[in-house]
Structure 1
Amino acid sequence: MFKTRYFTVDPDHPDPTVINQAAGYIRTGELLAFPTETVYGLGADALNAGAVEKIFIAKGRPADHPLLIHVSRVEQVEALALVIPAAARRLIGHFWPGPLSIILPSRPQVPGIVRGNKSGVGFRMPSHPVSIALLNETGPLAAPSANLYGRPSPTNAEHVRQDMDGRIAAVLDAGETGNGLESTIIDFCEGIKVIRRGGIALEEIEDILGQGISLNSSAQGNKNAYDLKVKVLLSEGENDFYQQMEQCLQISKLIGVVRIIGRNKPLKGSFHQEYFLDLTGRGNSWFAILRDAEQRKLDYLLVEPLDQKTEGISASIMDRIKRAAALKPK
């Protein structure tokens, strides 16, 4: 067990002395949590297999799940990828730095544990000033989100503390991140495929490439991917929503409701906590709502019916909601 150290840092103008101190943990093969414009990441030296292994131990992450490499310069990608196709360079030029990750054929020096022993490796250039300052000091970092495997991604240092305190060496605390929506992942190893919807809308990517992109099955799945202490319920319409609320009230009074901003129809019924979610990605994040509902010890979290034809960032947020939702109250 570690005594995890917490460094407070200005999110817009990070102190170089603090960044250098934090980077020291990376240089000695330890783990450091740091903010990006999406969620907090858990970083280790991407070329140090022993350090990267600690990520899997700290998170309880399956060993065959590959990690993204965070970079601060395109030259770092060129040094670790066998090739960068022209289409990938167009996306890099338009969306980096930002919440887009690109999987490319890997050079041999990238450890197999980073790649999940696959032939490709994912790269991302975050736009948060703290993460860029850190990466300029450390070089490429292998970094998934800084939470226990299966838990909601952390959007502030307190979320990191809840999952990682005592498991990692240090945390760079720069307050809240952006909308809490992880990066979009595009795979260029065999054609062009979307592996995960995220902070860059699929439609924007298709516009830049001038072509449609197929969705990998993992990018459009509806499996319950989160280990939650609150049961999330997603209804199939207004009548189903109120039936679920009635069933929940027969079991528990600790019920939360997630309202979708822009829908002004008043809600009937009694509930303990009300949240507001903006499907455009602004305001309170879905992951922050989940964490707050757990802190309040709510038993159920009912989400207003969603428009199944929603596109853009809204589709990415809806994907996260569906992955957290159970079908019926139990």
Structure 2
Amino acid sequence: MILPCFDPATWGPSLDAAVAAVERGQVIVLPTDTVYGVGADAFQPDAVAAVLAAKGRGRQMPPPVLIPSVRTVDGLARDVPDSARALMEKFWPGALTVIVWAQPSLAWDLGETHGTVALRVPAHAAALALLERTGPLAVTSANKAGAPAATRAEHARDQLKDSVAIYLDAGESPLGLASTMVDATGERLRIVREGGVSRDEIVDVIGSDALEPADTQGSPA
């Protein structure tokens, strides 16, 4: 079911339906600033498994977790470096995903995370309104593995079909490009995927000494 999610004055029923679906452990598609995401309650393992199954991806590639604000970080992560916090404060909400060590006490199963979690606050009003009500959502790009990322709700529906209960339609994705992903679990930060935030922008915030050299960065995935 595709539901409109363009205007805060009228999107209430659509968000209500999406929140109810999340609470039932169902999979939804939501708009973000980068591309559309397919997600579910991060704390319902069966729902997270359904997200990975919808995408055609295994547990070895766990989904990132979208959160409503930077204030949520310390409930989910531990030992967050000052350099990573500086990036969060600068680029959130926005197109930056930060991989950090997860709180070991969390009752969730995102897949083979090796004790980490990838966090992002999206810069999209509808997504933030949803996250304020649902709490953390395990969200990955709304496309089949290996296919182009969806920048419209109907593009996501064409690929994911009935594996998704609710599609929230907010029109074209503003950025249309995946987030930059930074690993903050080592001695220095490392860019593992380049996207909506450039390396130069990151260096401007934390300096080059806090970042692994460019020739050791990972390639986009």
State TM-score, norm by structure 1: 0.62
Q: Contact 1:14 / 1:130 at 8 angstroms: preserved in 2? A: no
Among residues 178, 181, 188, which one is paired with 1:185 in the alignment? 181
Name the structure 1 match of 2:52: 56
Does residue 155 of structure 2 align to residue 172 of structure 1? no
Q: Distance in 1 between matches of 2:208 and 2:55?
A: 37
Counterpart CA distance in 2 for 1:176 and 1:9 is 12
2:205 match: 208
Cα shift at 1:211: 1.7
Q: Choose which of 42, 50, 53 in structure 2 pairs with 1:46.
A: 42
Residues 115 and 13 (structure 1), Cα distance of their counterparts in 2 relative to 1, 3 Å cut: farther
Which residue, 90, 98, 105 being the options, matches 2:94?
98
1:196 aligns with 2:168: no
* Cα contact 2:43–2:109 (8 A) shared by 1: no
**How far 1:88 moved relative to its partner?**
1.1
2:124 & 2:163 partners in 1: Cα distance? 24
Q: Does structure 2 conserve the Cα–Cα contact (< 8 Å) formed by 1:63 and 1:113?
A: no
Is the counterpart of residue 114 in structure 1 residue 113 in structure 2?
no
Unaligned runs of 5+ in 2: none
User: Contact 2:69–2:93 at 8 Å: present in 1 too?
Assistant: no
Name which structure has the greater RCO, CA cutoff 8 Å, separation 6+: 2
Contact 1:27 1:45 in 2 (8 A): yes
The DSSP-based 3-state class of the residue aligned with 1:177 is coil
Cα displacement (A) at 1:13: 5.3
Q: Secondary structure at the match of 1:104?
A: strand
Which position in structure 2 is the counterpart of 1:297?
Answer: none
Q: What residue is the counterpart of 1:31 in the other structure?
A: 27
Q: Indicate conservation of the 8 Å contact 2:4/2:11, yes or no.
A: no
Question: SS at the partner of 1:166?
Answer: helix
Task: Output the CA distance in 1 between the equivalents of 2:181 and 2:13.
Answer: 33
- 8 Å CA contact 1:66, 1:114 repeated in 2: yes
Uncovered stretches (5+) of structure 1, i.e. residues with no partner: 226-330
Aligned partners of 1:90, 1:218: CA distance in 2, in Å?
A: 20
How far did residue 26 of structure 1 move? Answer: 0.4
Q: 1 CA distance for matches of 2:107 and 2:87?
A: 25
**Contact persistence 1:46–1:110 (CA under 8 A):** no
Q: Contact between 1:20 and 1:137, CA under 8 Å: does it hold in 2?
A: no
Q: Take 1:52 and 1:109, find their aligned partners in 2: how far apart are those partners? A: 18
Q: 1:111 to 1:143 in 2, by over 3 A?
A: farther
Out of 155, 159, 163, the residue aligned to residue 155 of structure 2 is 159
Query: Could you say which residue in structure 2 is the equivalent of 1:239?
Result: none
TM-score under structure 2 length normalisation: 0.92
- Give deviations 1:234-255, integer Å, cap 9, x for gaps: xxxxxxxxxxxxxxxxxxxxxx
Question: Contact 1:68/1:142 (CA < 8 Å) preserved in 2?
Answer: yes
3-state SS in 2 of match to 1:103: strand
Cα distance in 2 between the residues matched to 1:13 and 1:203:
38
1:136 is aligned to 2:132: yes
**2-side partners of 1:160 and 1:216: how far apart?**
34
Pair 65,73 (structure 1): closer, same or farther in 2 beyond 3 Å: same
Query: 1:168 is aligned with what amino acid?
Result: V
Q: In 2, Cα distance between the equivalents of 1:114 and 1:44?
A: 11
The 3 A distance-change label for structure 1 pair 84 and 126 is same
Q: Which has the larger radius of gyration?
A: 1
The 5-angstrom pairing of residues 216-227 of structure 1 reads 219-220=218-219
The root-mean-square deviation of aligned C-alpha atoms, in Å, is 1.9
Q: Is the partner of 2:181 in helix, strand or coil?
A: strand
1:72 corresponds to: 68
Is the CA contact 2:43–2:108 (under 8 Å) kept in the aligned structure 1? no
